[in-house]
Structure 1
Amino acid sequence: MSTDSGNRTLGAAANLESLKKEAKRWLKALRDGDSAARERLLRVSSRASASPTLREVQHALAREHGVAGWTALKERLADRELSKRSEAERAGDFLRHAVDRQGGALAAHILRKHPDVARFSLHTAVVAGDLAEVERHLADGAPVGGSAGIPRSWQPLQYLCYARVPVAAASDNAVAIARALLDAGADPKATWKDDWGNPFTLLTGIIGEGEGREPRHPRAVELAELLIARGADPYDTQSLYNTSLHVDDPFWLEFLYSRSEAAGDAERWRGKDAWPASGMLDYLLGNAVSRNHVRRARWLLEHGARATARHFYSKRNLHTEAVLGGFTELAKLLLDFGAQPESLDDVHTYHAACMARDRETARRLAAAHPEYLHYPGPMYKAAEADRTEVVELLLELGVSPDVAHGGWVGLHSAAHNGSVNVAKLLVERGATIDVRDQRFHSTPLGHAVWANQSAMVDVLSPVSRDVIALARAGKLERLRAVIDEDPKLVDATRDGRTALFFLSAPEVRAMEIAELLIERGADPAFRDADGLSAADAAAKAGLEDLADQLREAARPGSVT
């Protein structure tokens, strides 16, 4: 077979695994000084280096097959494998990817390559935004409830609210499709619960945000108006929590409260019969104070939140919370609404001085009480808010970059909150990179991955050796380097599970990481304390191809 650039075709048996092995054989031949292997390389890459890397050889192999590079070749193989799947399998893939935070582009890719997926079922038509197809299914009597045969067993309207597929029709037709589903009997109060029993409603889905920073639905406001008009409860506790975490914007507070008020139900926002026991307005005010959300705090105070309330989590006076955060404007706002300032003891006076960058007071108290340098409060607050100037002051005073309580350090706070500048500063000043907190047993990188802080993941990945967090983040090359340096790390566990249990979308990258881990000695047959395997974990996450790969690798006699 010719190996000239662009002249090779993919054989029927060719797959990613066989091509990877071919690239490795070619690289070995080059390193052994094989002249034919060198001539072959120069035919497709005339500027090839004298000592090519595996990446260069993979690129050359792709060029032989007439594509621009290795990534394009993998995409061609993936498309071919996708074509081999049954209609039902493709439909399942489409639905799973549509509601995965990283899978929307994959769902759009499936729809683009196989537009017939939109016609497979009412669920797929809804996610694709195909209004005509939705109307056809409804006219034929398709059920609008959930189905045991559907991923997550959700009803179509839930998929509409949680899916984020980047195709125009999905957003352009969302409101019309939602209305058609509701007219046909879909439940506007449909709910699913997470592992902690928190209720996630249709409103929760379209509003997004939360700890994972889920994107808002492009037609969120119109959909929310429609759902509430049809019976959804505007007192949506999960949405109120989700929108209290990141952005100082009272829009959804006003939107949801005004509809509760119009329904004569606004007192529920002050009630203490259910979570949160302090009442929702007071609870949300505490969140606003902790985050220096002045606009949200003002709205909450104007609608009945008590400036004299205690913070739900810290149990502190809210004015003290603002002072300790260095939030001068917010502290004054609370006073304007009746907050009662309290006297601070010396350690909290030191804390407030650090946050206010009052060097004289901070130095005087630190000199009188050297033990204050081991108090982590100011470091946590500065790291949460990305206040490098405060961290600089703390380090100047002699505070360790690893000052901690319960194993939680400033780098954890920075990572969880996306405070990139503070994280860079702490790393530069010698902070321990992979310290684990005692509550979650997680490194700063682990917290960044969990909180979907992509910029922070990029900062910490090049210096972290946490193979489980690196696997979750999809950092293949860093994983390779870390394991090559210390092969024992491939067996690292968290909560009794190896890195193979923590792989996530996109699935192609997860499969590449699984291949690396198994190649380096990770046991695909390993089971956790509940008797579950990595394949079981992959299947639960909807990564069926990964699950198949892991099952095959765990099969006795399998060659990896």
Structure 2
Amino acid sequence: MANRLPENPSLDHLKNEAKQLLRGVRAGEIRALATAGGWYPGELSDLRLAGAQLVVARKYGFTSWSQLRAHLTMVSEFARRPHEVGPSSDPATEFLRLACLTYGELALASSEAAARLLAARPEVAGASVWTMAAVGDAAGVARAVAADPASAQAYGGPFSWEPLLYLTYSRVAQADAVGTARILLRAGADPNAGYLPEGQGPPFTALTGALGGGELGQPPHPQDLELARVLLEAGADANDDRALYNRGLLGDDTGYLRLLLRFGLGRGDGGPWAARLGRVQDSPARMLENAVLAVALRGRARRMRCLLAHGAPADARGDGHPSFLDHTALELALLGGHAEVARLLADAGASGSLRGLDVAEAAIMRGERGQVEQLLSADHELAERLLTRRRDLIIKAAEYGRVPAVRLACALGFDVNARLPSTALHKAARAGDLPMVRALVELGADRSLRDFDYDATPLEWAQSAGQAEVVKFLGHPTE
């Protein structure tokens, strides 16, 4: 299986990798010989620099060094790191930085700061086509593109984005978001506009911005479905892997799924981003299978009904995906204790069964203490293997809202404060699951722990997701 390119891939870095590989092969290093032997078609004794470059290209999933070079040229055009952009002394630039989702900070806190800046400096809203797009000023954008048609696709602002991205990622109050989008699209804006975070796919597109979601529960656009429909009608490809993943982490709504399915999710060639990314991006059919697996993993019954009703494959299999491994959708539902989703899949003809540790994990997730005790009595090393190999079990139980499962896991010795990279309390806080938050705190969850990805506390996760009840509870340590 090909490896994933490193973040912000550099041609110079990959050239050095090829040179080091060649030196290693000539020195007889075991690791270099194994790598080259797996990808080089000839005798390693004949390996030269061009051959080492071919090995590096194939290692990362490309058929040739020239194909890898072309990919890196494309990456250099679309790579962005908006979450790393620092404060600016220019009010318009700082407004845009704060107003838009970057998936690297607390969204509500930033948008509130942007609103305060705008209230203090209202002239900022009309500073450029990018600020006018961010505030949904349809009339202002119409004047701007009439005066300069190229401005509809111009890169600018703190993130070097097109106006359509500032419109769809903005979370400040907008006067007429949909009208502004239509004006930009009529003027030539690309409905598939997007960027590659850290130079990696899948891309963050305008559609991704409209639908929101993600690890921190970034809020969708207030007119998410209407805005998404405008983009799709204008030619945005519905096979948007990032949008599917991010929105899939929020709730059990089906509006976005029905819309994407209507406009071609799971069908077609994947659009311009598939052409740019090639094998780096999943095929539309694979994206639809992954959507089924993700819904099974999280136990979203309404979404599963929606997918199956639209012909999605009930027999989807993980195929080595890091989240799904080689499980079928039915196995994922059973493993998570999602009885209703499992029934839906079984009725649709899905197959699968659990073995080994999976049987014990499923029993814990269902909160079936009696069955767990029977399994433990039959295998005295079972508890130790579970604690070692399924460290994230308590985090998943919290994410799925299974209070009995969390209590049972704690009784078995699972660490309520395990960070992988966030804690169970982070997951429950983001979901606004107050009963789970209370149970976790009662079981010893540490409110002060910061996750490893965003360096934020559970309280900050709750604040970012707008979970007022959880914010109130976690904001009072003695409660």
Is this a same-fold pair by TM over 0.5?
yes
2:412 to 399, 405, 423: 399
Q: In 1, are the aligned partners of 2:450 and 2:456 still within 8 Å (CA)?
A: yes
User: Which residue number corresponds to residue 299 of structure 2?
Assistant: 292
Q: In 2, are the aligned partners of 1:276 and 1:283 still within 8 Å (CA)?
A: no
Find the aligned partners of 1:236 and 1:253 in 2 and give their Cα distance: 11
Aligned-residue offset at 1:287: 0.6
Whether 2:195 is the aligned partner of 1:192: answer yes
C-alpha distance 309-143 of structure 1, shift in aligned 2 (>3 A): closer
Find the aligned partners of 1:259 and 1:442 in 2 and give their Cα distance: 34
Whether 2:128 is the aligned partner of 1:131: answer no
User: Which residue number corresponds to residue 394 of structure 2?
Assistant: 379
Q: TM-score, normalised by structure 2?
A: 0.65
1:115-172 per-position Cα deviation (integer Å, ceiling 9, x unaligned): 3223322222333333333333333336425656621122222211111212xxx24x
What amino acid sits opposite 2:329 in the alignment?
L
1:316 to 327, 332, 349: 327
Find the aligned partners of 1:368 and 1:120 in 2 and give their Cα distance: 71
Q: In 1, are the aligned partners of 2:165 and 2:206 still within 8 Å (CA)?
A: yes
What amino acid sits opposite 1:177 in the alignment?
T
The sequence identity of aligned pairs, in percent, is 34
Find the aligned partners of 2:442 and 2:90 in 1 and give their Cα distance: 49
Give the alignment of 1:8-407 within 5 angstroms.
89-100=90-101, 101=107, 102-141=109-148, 143-145=150-152, 150-166=157-173, 170-171=174-175, 173-195=176-198, 196-260=200-264, 266-268=267-269, 275-276=281-282, 279-311=286-318, 312=321, 313-342=324-353, 344-345=355-356, 347-374=357-384, 375-376=386-387, 377=390, 378-395=393-410, 398-402=411-415
Find the aligned partners of 1:451 and 1:108 in 2 and give their Cα distance: 17
Find the aligned partners of 1:306 and 1:403 in 2 and give their Cα distance: 36
In the alignment, structure 1 segments of 5+ residues that lack a partner are: 1-85, 464-560
Find the aligned partners of 2:447 and 2:222 in 1 and give their Cα distance: 38
Find the aligned partners of 1:103 and 1:411 in 2 and give their Cα distance: 21
C-alpha distance 275-127 of structure 1, shift in aligned 2 (>3 A): closer
1:445 to 457, 465, 470: 457
C-alpha distance 451-400 of structure 1, shift in aligned 2 (>3 A): farther
1:474-514 per-position Cα deviation (integer Å, ceiling 9, x unaligned): xxxxxxxxxxxxxxxxxxxxxxxxxxxxxxxxxxxxxxxxx
C-alpha distance 447-349 of structure 1, shift in aligned 2 (>3 A): farther
Q: In 2, are the aligned partners of 1:308 and 1:340 still within 8 Å (CA)?
A: yes
Find the aligned partners of 1:379 and 1:410 in 2 and give their Cα distance: 13
Find the aligned partners of 1:126 and 1:343 in 2 and give their Cα distance: 51
Aligned-residue offset at 1:273: 5.8
Q: In 2, are the aligned partners of 1:322 and 1:331 still within 8 Å (CA)?
A: yes
Find the aligned partners of 1:305 and 1:286 in 2 and give their Cα distance: 11
Q: In 2, are the aligned partners of 1:416 and 1:448 still within 8 Å (CA)?
A: no
Matched position secondary structure for 1:193 = strand
1:498-547 per-position Cα deviation (integer Å, ceiling 9, x unaligned): xxxxxxxxxxxxxxxxxxxxxxxxxxxxxxxxxxxxxxxxxxxxxxxxxx
1:71-120 per-position Cα deviation (integer Å, ceiling 9, x unaligned): xxxxxxxxxxxxxxx9x922222222221523323333333333322332
Aligned-residue offset at 1:329: 1.4
Aligned-residue offset at 1:363: 1.7
What amino acid sits opposite 2:415 in the alignment?
D
Q: In 2, are the aligned partners of 1:111 and 1:128 still within 8 Å (CA)?
A: no
Find the aligned partners of 1:431 and 1:112 in 2 and give their Cα distance: 39
Find the aligned partners of 1:189 and 1:107 in 2 and give their Cα distance: 26
C-alpha distance 342-193 of structure 1, shift in aligned 2 (>3 A): same
Find the aligned partners of 2:449 and 2:119 in 1 and give their Cα distance: 44
Aligned-residue offset at 1:190: 1.6
1:410-450 per-position Cα deviation (integer Å, ceiling 9, x unaligned): 9823423535544543443345777899xx58889379749
Matched position secondary structure for 2:171 = coil
Find the aligned partners of 2:446 and 2:141 in 1 and give their Cα distance: 54
Q: In 2, are the aligned partners of 1:412 and 1:447 still within 8 Å (CA)?
A: no
Matched position secondary structure for 1:96 = helix
* Number of residue equivalences: 362
Find the aligned partners of 1:122 and 1:423 in 2 and give their Cα distance: 43
Runs of 4+ in 1 over 6 A off after TM superposition: 432-437, 441-444, 456-463
What amino acid sits opposite 1:108 in the alignment?
A
1:268-317 per-position Cα deviation (integer Å, ceiling 9, x unaligned): 58x99663377112111111011111121122233343333323423223
User: Which residue number corresponds to residue 61 of structure 2?
Assistant: none
Matched position secondary structure for 1:192 = strand
Find the aligned partners of 2:251 and 2:185 in 1 and give their Cα distance: 32
Higher relative contact order (CA 8 A, sep 6+): 2
Please say which structure displays the higher CA radius of gyration: 1
Considering only aligned residues, what root-mean-square deviation do their CA atoms show, in Å?
A: 3.7
What amino acid sits opposite 2:242 in the alignment?
Q
Find the aligned partners of 1:111 and 1:451 in 2 and give their Cα distance: 21
Find the aligned partners of 1:410 and 1:185 in 2 and give their Cα distance: 42
Matched position secondary structure for 2:457 = helix
Q: In 2, are the aligned partners of 1:213 and 1:451 still within 8 Å (CA)?
A: no
Find the aligned partners of 2:440 and 2:243 in 1 and give their Cα distance: 34
Q: In 1, are the aligned partners of 2:316 and 2:328 still within 8 Å (CA)?
A: yes
